[in-house]
Each structure stands twice: as structure tokens, then as C-alpha cells.
Amino acid sequence: MRIAVGQFAATPDWKDNLAACQELTVEAERGGADLLVLPEGVLARFTEDRHRIREVAQPLDGPFVTELRASTVGGHVTVVVGIHEPSDDGRVFNTLVALRDGELVGRYRKIHLYDAFGDQESANVRPADEPPVVIEVAGTKVGLMTCYDVRFPELARLLVDAGAEVLALPAAWVRGPAKERHWEVMITARALENTCWVAASGECGPRNIGNSLVVDPLGTVRSRLAAVRGLAWAEADPGITAAARRALPVLANRRFAVDPTVIPLPLPLAGSGAH
């Protein structure tokens, strides 16, 4: 499977961001990509006013997804990208959509919210309580994760248990002390402990690190971008995956199963917001 991971800096205008996604989709299609992974939450750039997430959210049949779906008609590539989607409790879902040939072929709502490092995503975003999502792309099963999810190895393992050989990870990884190191370590760990590929796309720009990369089942970075807009490419060869799993049979050697039960979370405090 030919993978492209793409990154750009989102603007406050969803139409600009749609155009960026469309341009990268055309470039990925021309390059023969089977899978294009774009960043998380691309409807708008979010800085200090995180409540704006609620204002810019669009349903899955809204103009952003509808127009991006139209851009994939007649094409081969599967595009995975993140938006914010209204929910019925006043907050929004942080949602990944997978689009191919004009169709919505998958949807994943983020489970683990970024209530860390002084931030509080749950003030405006509702955590999902749904099973992991695996889609099929060019005969390969692809598991969907979003940003902070990468810090929770049990989700990656559940996706691999469901057959995933590739994990698609859209993100908007915030800058901070050692954060770029965390990003690469977590992605590499998820690849190694599951002997799978991880295709991670990070938004670039003043707030986020970019550094999109593809890591193979033995933890080698096969392709990466720095902090500029563009695409990085890699070939996720199933033969490499099979060879890695023979050489490093961690999935066969493990002694514990992962319980798929979702732990309920408390509601955010009234009046709470992002810090």
C-alpha cells in the first residue's frame, strides 16, 4: 500500500483549509497513493479561543465533508482527515472521516481527549464511547486514531487485534518542552509493540510541530516532513509486516488481552474552559 502523509497550517477560514486538503488530495492521487492521512481538526486554526471549536463545527453532511468527498470522485486514494462535528450535549466530537471515490467509508470519533499540559479539550469536545474503527484500503486493514490517542497503547492494540496492519494517526501536536520527542517516541512505540505501520500526520504552523512521519513495524522512520506544507511518502509492504512479525513475534508471545470496556469519564465542571 502506498501511503502519503500530508501537513499544512490551518487558517481561521474553513474554505482555505478545504482548498489545502483538496490540493494535497490531488497531489496524492497523482503520486499513486492508496492512503492519504491529513491532520486533525482542520476546519479552523485554534489558538487561545478554544470555544470557537463549537462555532465552526460542521455535520458530516455539511459543506466541508461534502466538498472534500466530491474531490475524491473518480479517484483511487482514501483520504483520512479530522474535523469537529456537532453533538447533542452542546460540545462537539473530534471526528475523523475516511473518504474514497465520493463516499464516506469510515468515521471515528476521538476517545481520549487532550486534558493535559494545561489544556482541557473536554471543555468543548465530547469523548466518544464507541469501539475502535478499522477500514480496508487497497486490501489492507487500517485502524483510525487521533492525536492524544497515541499515548494509550491499549487502543492501538485493540485496532491491531481487529486486524489493522496500518494505524492512521491525524494530529495537531502542540509545541512544548520535549513534545516533539514525545511525538516520535509514542509513534515508534506503537509501531514496535504491535509490529505495524504508523502513518502520522501533524498540522504544522506556529502552534503545532508538524513532523509528519511514517514508521515501519520495526520502528524505522521511512519518511518524514519537518515544519513545512507538503507530503511524505512510504510503501507499506505487507511482506515487510509479515517478516517483522516473524522476527519479533510480540503479538504471539503476549500473555494479556486488552479489555475493550470503555471507562466512563466525569462531566467537565460547569464554566470550565481551556487554559
At position 273, the amino acid (one-letter code) is: G
Instruction: Decide if 15 is catalytic.
Output: no
**Residue from 21, 110, 203, 204 carrying the catalytic annotation:** 110
Annotated catalytic residue, options 40, 85, 121, 165 = 40
- Residue 106 Cα distances to 109, 136, 143, 214, angstroms: 10, 9, 10, 21
* Given the residues 21, 147, 196, 204, the one annotated as active site: 147
- Integer Cα distance of 161 and 164 in angstroms: 7
User: Which residues 6+ apart lie within 8 Å of 145 measured at CB?
Assistant: 108, 155, 156, 159, 167, 168, 169
Q: Write the secondary structure of 182-206 as one string of H (helix), E (strand) and C (coil).
A: HHHHHHHHHHHHHCCEEEEEECCCC
The burial class, CB within 10 Å (0-12 / 13-18 / 19+), for 45 is buried
Q: Can you tell me the distance from the alpha carbon of 176 to that of 17, in angstroms, rounded to the nearest whole number?
A: 24
Alpha helices (H) along the chain: 14-30, 52-56, 63-71, 153-161, 179-194, 238-247, 250-253
Residue 38 in contact with residue 10, Cβ under 8 Å?
Answer: no
Q: Which residues does 176 contact at the CB level (< 8 Å), separation at least 6?
A: 117
Q: Is 130 annotated in the active site?
A: no
Which of these, 188, 166, 183, 209, lies nearest to 33 by C-alpha position?
A: 166
For the purposes of burial, counting CB atoms within 10 Å of the CB of 70, is it exposed (0-12), middle (13-18) or buried (19 or more)? exposed
**Is 29 in the active site?**
no
Report the catalytic residues.
40, 110, 147
